[in-house]
Structure 1
C-alpha cells in the first residue's frame, strides 16, 4: 500500500539533498523543529498544507512541483498511466434546461 506521507517525505528529502542542505538549515528556514521535519521526511508524520507550504518555501520549490512528483511516484507504484482527466465538453441536459428557464435545476437556485 502506498502511503502518501511517505512519498511526500521522500520527495522533500530528495529536494533538500539535491540542494546539499542539512535538515537543520531547512528546519530553521521553514520555522519547524528539526525533529518534526525529520519525521516528515521519513514519512512518520503527516505534513499539514501549511507545514508543507513552509517547507517548500524554505526549499524554494513550488508546492505544485512537489505534489506533481508525488503524484508521478504514486501513479508509478500503482501501475497507472497518468492521463489528463477527461472533462466533458457538454452541459448535462437537466442543467441546460434549468439555465434556459432562468434558474439552476437541483442547485437550490430559483
Structure 2
C-alpha cells in the first residue's frame, strides 16, 4: 500500500508539472521597476515578502540565478534557470528546488 501511495504522489506531481511545462514564472512579479532586469533587492524583497525564503536563502538563490554575476537576472537567465529545472540545460547550477521556491 505504501508503494502505491508513493507512486500516486509522484504521478500527481508529474501531472502538475506537465500542466505548467511551457510556462515561465511571471518575470514582472520580480521586476518591480520594469527595467527588464531583476535586481538582487527586487528578488530578495519578493521572496521575503511572500515568505518563500528568509533573506540569506533568497540571496543564495539569487546568486545561483545570476549566471553572469552582474547582480541582476535577465529574462534569458530566468529562462535558462527554468530550462535547467526541466533538465533541458546542463550549464547552470540552478536546481529544481531553487526554481520551485523562487516562483
Q: Same fold (TM over 0.5)?
A: no
- Max Rg structure: 1
Larger RCO (CA under 8 A, 6+ residues apart)? 1
